Copies of this chain bind each other. A is one copy, B any other.
Amino acid sequence: MNSRRGLMLVICAPSGTGKSTLTKRLRKEFPRISFSISYTTRKPRDGERQGIDYHFVNRDEFNTLIEEGFFAEWAEVHGNFYGTPKDAVLELLDEGQDVLFDIDVQGAAQLRESMQQGCYVFLFPPSLAALRQRLEARNTDDESIIERRLNNAPGEVEEANKFDYWIVNDDLDSAYRLLKSVYLAEGTRPSYLPQLPDRILHHKKI
């Protein structure tokens, strides 16, 4: 029995801002952080394992799950469906597991609505010009995808007002220090430590 409730750490950023690098580093320093395993209708890629990388389901099954209110959030991306199972996340949180979500702004809005908890971090690129440079330097996307991502960025930045914390990824180490601070600080909020004052006053070991 863990004496601390788990927290949902939800991180959003325009594509190319450096979100994956930062979340990987956070998970490396804090292996106790879980990811939830999504459901998807897309076909498994080589090496992907059922129930470990994703829960692979067909379109009918996915639709039934939507109707049953099974998902904390779901979305269609390039014709494939992806969804986060609500009860599985709640179970992790009850066990005191922290759960990380690397998600788009629409997904974050759905999570906030359906979970009614969590810490929502928006990661900014230093500027749109810097974002273009990074997307081009990455050299993994063709020009039309880069243009689509750059066109999406201002709309995503407008959504930043709904987030709890804002971090600018100007310098990777500074941004990481802030992300880690948000994660650690958030875990000291009273809502995650409901038994603490009682424990201090009555010397009970929990």
Contact = CB atoms under 8 A, between A and B. Distances in A.
B168 A178 contact: no
Interface stretch (A28-36, A140-148, A182-190): A182-190
Contacts of A197: 124, 157-158, 160-161
Nearest to A159: B197
A190 B178 contact: no
A124 B166 CA distance: 29
Nearest to A177: B184
Taken together, the copies of this chain in the complex come to 2
A99 to B, nearest CB: 18
Nearest to A196: B166
Contact of A188 (B161, B167, B189, B190): B167
A67 to B, nearest CB: 36
